[in-house]
């Protein structure tokens, strides 16, 4: 549904996006993840033909260029701020883009906008504007939907509604590219994660494989942690001191066991520490920085 091949974007002489390539198939929900300034929004804008670029962007095998947007006819998008007219009601805003009233009515109900949809958008809160922008992006059953921080300004109930909507459309074949800093919510809907930093893709994996891509730390508890610390320091084995245990790297496990055994220090526990999705992303970014340093 979407092909991005060797994408480069410059602002002046600075390369903001560097040789980015990825594909999205129908029904996939791809999360575009990375720190602020990594290039996520720039990539999304470029796919929508809003910035100059080199490389190639195709939607449903049709090329997108800065001057030719015909390939985007079946693409819905919400980038940065919802593009709504404040002097129109929410319903009138939707009618500007809608090609089928049943589709519009469904989205109004699904996002629970009935109570205010016929009032002027100028009086909407941030969350109300955000839901209206999301509804516009979902209108006319797009083949591809691009969402930049869709959960921005939404309460918990609205976030769940949006998540359910994404899941429903994806099951019917719509492809998604979503950027969000709320990784715990994004994790619940995405099927693949693309991690980007400094304008480059550093990881592109299915979510089911993502958790196994980095080595997890291990918790080590002994009968004498102070003595165990002294042994590890002597052998120059890295560890982190926690409340009542030591945190060590998995590549050191066998050496740690051997050294503790030599000193007759008995292990009470040695187990992997489960990291959540956010921590995995933070660890990968930290590892990349260490490699560059």
pLDDT in tens, 28-56: 999 999 988 899 999 999 999 999 999 99
> Phi/psi at 72 (nearest 5 deg)?
-95, 10
CA distances, 50 to each of 12, 53, 275 (Å): 16, 9, 38
Boundary (domain end) residue, out of 210, 229, 245: 210
User: Residue 292: pLDDT above 70?
Assistant: no
* 28 to 22, 206, 237: CA distances (angstroms): 13, 10, 43
Please compute the mean of the pLDDT values over residues 146-161 and round it to a whole number: 93
Residue 213 has pLDDT above 60, yes or no: no
Q: Is residue 281 part of a domain?
A: no
- Domain check: are 153 and 126 in the same one? yes
pLDDT bracket for residue 214 (50, 70, 90): low
Residue 284 lies in a domain: no
State residue 72's pLDDT score: 94
Residue 107 counted as domain residue: yes
Domain-embedded: residue 242: yes
pLDDT above 90 coverage of the chain, percent? 64
| Residue 113 and residue 42 in one domain | yes
Q: What share of the chain is helix, strand, coil (3-state, %, to 5)?
A: 40, 25, 35
Task: Let me know if residue 289 belongs to a domain.
Answer: no
User: Distance (Å, rounded) from C-alpha 205 to C-alpha 281?
Assistant: 12
Are 202 and 255 in the same domain? no
The verdict on residue 48 lying in a domain is yes
The answer to whether residues 171 and 105 belong to one domain is: yes
Q: Tell me, yes or no, whether 266 and 183 share the same domain.
A: no
- Whether residue 149 sits in one domain with residue 251: no
161 in a domain, yes or no? yes
Would the pTM of this model clear 0.85, i.e. be above it? no
Decide which of 194 and 292 is more confident.
194
What CATH number has the domain bearing residue 124? 3.40.50.300
Which range, of 20-29, 174-183, 211-220, averages the lowest pLDDT?
A: 211-220
Q: At residue 215, does pLDDT exceed 60? A: no
Q: Clarify whether residues 93 and 159 are in a common domain.
A: yes
**Total domains present in the chain:** 2
Q: Is the pLDDT of residue 280 over 80?
A: no
75 and 175 both lie in a single domain: yes
Shared domain for 191 and 260, answered yes or no, is no
Residue range(s) defining the domain that contains residue 31:
2-210
pLDDT for 64: 95
> Are both 28 and 165 inside the same structural domain?
yes
Give the per-residue pLDDT at 56.
Answer: 96
pLDDT per position as a tens digit, 54-82: 999 999 999 999 889 999 999 999 998 88
248 and 151 within one domain: no
pLDDT at 162 over 60: yes
In a domain, 259, yes or no: yes
Chain segment 229-258, per-residue pLDDT in tens = 999 999 999 888 888 889 888 888 889 999
Q: CA-to-CA distance for 189 and 170, rounded, in angstroms? A: 9
CA distance 259 to 261: 5
Higher pLDDT, 190 or 216: 190
Rounded percentage of the chain residues whose pLDDT exceeds 70: 95
227 plus 205 within the same structural domain: no
């Amino acid at each position: 549904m979407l092909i991005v091949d060797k994408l480069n974007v410059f602002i002046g002489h600075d390369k903001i996006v560097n040789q980015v390539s990825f594909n999205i198939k129908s029904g996939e929900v791809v999360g575009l993840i990375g720190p602020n300034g990594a290039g996520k929004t720039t990539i999304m804008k470029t796919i929508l033909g809003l910035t100059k670029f080199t490389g190639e962007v195709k939607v449903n095998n049709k090329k997108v260029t800065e001057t030719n947007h015909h390939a985007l006819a079946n693409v819905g998008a919400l980038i940065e701020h919802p593009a709504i007219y404040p002097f129109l009601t929410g319903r009138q805003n939707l009618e500007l883009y809608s090609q089928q009233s049943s589709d519009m009515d469904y989205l109004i109900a699904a996002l629970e906008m009935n109570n205010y949809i016929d009032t002027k958008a100028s009086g909407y809160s941030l969350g109300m504007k955000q839901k209206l922008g999301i509804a516009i992006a979902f209108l006319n059953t797009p083949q591809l939907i691009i969402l930049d921080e869709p959960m921005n300004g939404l309460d918990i109930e609205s976030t769940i509604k949006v998540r359910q909507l994404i899941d429903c459309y994806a099951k019917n074949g719509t492809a998604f590219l979503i950027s969000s800093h709320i990784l715990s919510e994004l994790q619940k809907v995405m099927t693949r994660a693309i991690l980007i930093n400094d304008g480059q893709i550093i990881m592109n994996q299915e979510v089911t494989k993502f958790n196994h891509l980095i080595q997890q730390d291990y918790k080590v508890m002994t009968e004498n942690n102070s003595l165990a610390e002294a042994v590890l320091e002597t052998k120059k084995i890295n560890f982190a001191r926690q409340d009542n245990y030591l945190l060590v790297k998995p590549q050191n496990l066998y050496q740690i066991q051997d050294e503790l055994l030599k000193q007759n220090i008995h292990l009470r526990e040695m187990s992997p520490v489960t990291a959540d999705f956010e921590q995995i992303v933070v660890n990968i970014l930290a590892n990349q920085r260490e490699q560059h340093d």
